[in-house]
Structure 1
């Protein structure tokens, strides 16, 4: 079985080899690590939002935005990133195109067709068998 990224330090739980207290402690540590990872991810997201709203610092990017008709107040790092992604997509970068599609809400739904044909044909074969009138009759036949 393929191990997922970040699971290299996990040890499989085998009944009898790990005490209940050890399992509880391992679960507690895992929970604390999960909380810490979520905090870091949230902080990174917040920093990206803050940096994205800052005015663009590159003179080259400012000049390009002016040529494109971007207003002074919209000349942010986010706008520079958007322009960069659009330039890549226009040059044929499929990942950039997919990023734009996903951001603009045009991503196709990931669906799997789970419809199954429900037509069932049952054929009867005439035989000399008779239906059992009770469970005891079935059990008697099996002996």
Structure 2
């Protein structure tokens, strides 16, 4: 986490450089942690899991089945939204803007 400036310390070019440097280091660390989490989750989703009935599924298949069962049991609309969005049927928020510009190219003085 970036260091905060002490009270009474003026904000100069040097302190701006220092703050920028510290912010860049913190940003890089946050990106590395996020990438590590993403890689771990992708590995878990791709790995094969055998359940107590001897059925082998990938992690993503097992997660989908678990989500579906929980939705069927509870009817929670948030779970339905996750299932719908994951299946690629997420509604798209689109705003259509139509702009019409009329230009009168005739010069009024040359009529």
Mapping 1:3-42, distance limit 5 Å: 17-42=10-35
**Greater share of residues in strand:** 2
Deviation of 1:52 (Å): 1.7
Consecutive unaligned residues of structure 1, counting only runs of 5 or more, are: 1-5, 12-16, 67-71, 119-143
State the TM-score, normalizing by the size of structure 1: 0.55
State the TM-score, normalizing by the size of structure 2: 0.68
Consecutive unaligned residues of structure 2, counting only runs of 5 or more, are: 101-111
Runs of 4+ in 1 over 3 A off after TM superposition: 111-116
Deviation of 1:90 (Å): 2.3
- Please name the residue that 1:98 is paired with: 81
- Please name the residue that 2:60 is paired with: 78
Deviation of 1:58 (Å): 3.7
- Please name the residue that 1:54 is paired with: 47
- Please name the residue that 1:87 is paired with: 69
Structure with bigger gyration radius: 1
